[in-house]
Amino acid sequence: MSSRFRRLLVLTAVLALALGASGATASRGLVGNLTNTKVAGINVDQTTIPQLEALMNSHRINAVKLTNFYLRRIRQSNAVLHAVITVSPTAHADARAADRARRSGDHRPLLGIPIIVKDNIDTTGMPTTAGSWALAGSTPPDAFIVQRLKAAGAIIIGKANLSEWANFRSAPSSSGWSGIGGQTSMPYVLDRNPCGSSSGSGVSAAADLAVAAVGTETDGSVVCPSGTNDDVGIKPTLGLWSRAGVVPISSNQDTAGPIARNVTDAAVLLGAATGVDPNDDATSAQTGHAFSDYTQFLHSNALQGARIGVWRAGTYDPLLVGPVVEPILANVKSALQAQGATVVDPTDIDLSATANELSALLCEFKSDIGTYLQTYVHGTNPVSHAPYPQTLADLIAFDQAHPNLEGPWNDLIFELADATNGRDSACDDLRAATTPPVQAAINSLMAANHLDAIIALTNGPAWPNNADPNEGDLNGHFELFVGSSGAAAVAGYPDITVPAGHDQGLPLGITFIGGQWAEPKLIGYAYDYEQATHIRVPPQFIPTIGDALFPGVPNP
């Protein structure tokens, strides 16, 4: 672990980051510092963005105080949480500018709201590294979605740690680990894994390191860290948010999305970043389907009369994990029914076509990462003193030349992708055999059962962090995995996760899945469920609860 601290300090010197050596706070002292989330007498952990805007309009609080509060929490926590890679050097100036704009009558929906974005999303003035030293110091201009957030008044105060290369480099791996940022820890139990790849984004929202955060997902990387950290996360329909200026895995599945502590804030961010981007053809399809304000769909009676299906098969092992997760799923069903929904159980999605998913992603990644590097990454790497990589083969060569920076994990996924021909006719055939069948499976299931949405467990209890390159996530026990992201991810359809329960203090989420452009309906259902249950609790930064992977069941 000490080598990771040294790497973080080297990056601090190279990139003049604002995290500094002051983050040596011990986890024991962390709790007392971070459980207090009041600013000017206002508990910001429990205050939504619209409420913060009203408070700033009435001069109860301002952007400078908010920004200072979050920057201080980042400094206090980062040596333990490793959730933030970079802090904006203009954060204070941006906050002062937001306060001046408000005094001049500006009332944009995110004015003065501090936001953290994942460090694979391009941001002017802050490096975009995907967690890898291969991109250390690379500073492309703002991605389209960052432009949109700033246009709505948001202050981008920092970049979140992540699973390096969005967890598409090595096998096995540890979610939340990157060469630059080290291993992210979840704030509920500090030695547990926050899930990935938007690990730092999920932790930043949960631990009040910003008002809200932005993550990215190819398959599970928004919803899993959201569920694991008691957050709300939205993975939008493909094309609702632009992908231009975001380090890719595959344009066929990639999308960014909001992560927040409540459905209201996630809805505010979702609307703020929509828009047709001339640099992303997929966004043209959103015309007539997108909204700049999704808060209009926050209805506390949205579930009344809705038909909700329950998806179980393939999302968890009922024998190994069922004793932990099924009581939580039963509670969710009861809450939905109490709100007036009809629950159809089971309604399982046929995911047989996802057998092609990895093969499709490998060939798509080879082409798409090369396009990103050649479009956005220019100049000389300040660590290697050589030109930045421009191809996947260059990235592999960098890792081989710098094992002290990029260990302990291998490059197996990189190597498998590089062995393909990239986007060719065979790659196109793989995608055609993957996405349309899953879309058809969801569409036909919903139509046959007259469903408005499908629910499934988002995640299981967080597992202990593990740096063993032979085991990685879940300590090698992948039969204990709980997840339902594949259906919406492969289909390009939306889903939203909401806190659903806890197992010995470890959060579990429930995912609402819908058809293409179903965000308004899903947000309404999620909000109704959230307001009826109020499951989320703030983190207490407990050091450990022991080594059991799932506290409710014996280790396998």
Q: Which residues are catalytic?
A: 118, 197, 221
DSSP string of 109-171, one letter each residue? TTTT-EEEEETTB-BTTB---TT-GGGTT--PPPPHHHHHHHHTT-EEEEEE--SHHHH-S-S
410-427 residues labelled b (16+ CB within 10 A) or e (exposed): bbebbebbbebebbeeeb
Q: Which residue has the tokens 């040294």?
A: 6
**Which stretches within 383-432 are classed as H helix?**
392-401, 403-406, 412-418, 425-432
Taking Cα atoms as reference points, which of 254, 196, 255 lies closest to residue 223?
Answer: 196
Q: How far apart are CA 377 and CA 365, in angstroms?
A: 16
Q: How far apart are CA 237 and CA 225, in angstroms?
A: 19
Q: How far apart are CA 229 and CA 248, in angstroms?
A: 24
Q: Which amino acid is at 228?
A: T
DSSP class of residue 300 equals T
Q: Is the Cβ–Cβ distance between 119 and 166 less than 8 Å? A: no
Q: Is the Cβ–Cβ distance between 128 and 247 less than 8 Å? A: yes
Q: How far apart are CA 128 and CA 121, in angstroms?
A: 6
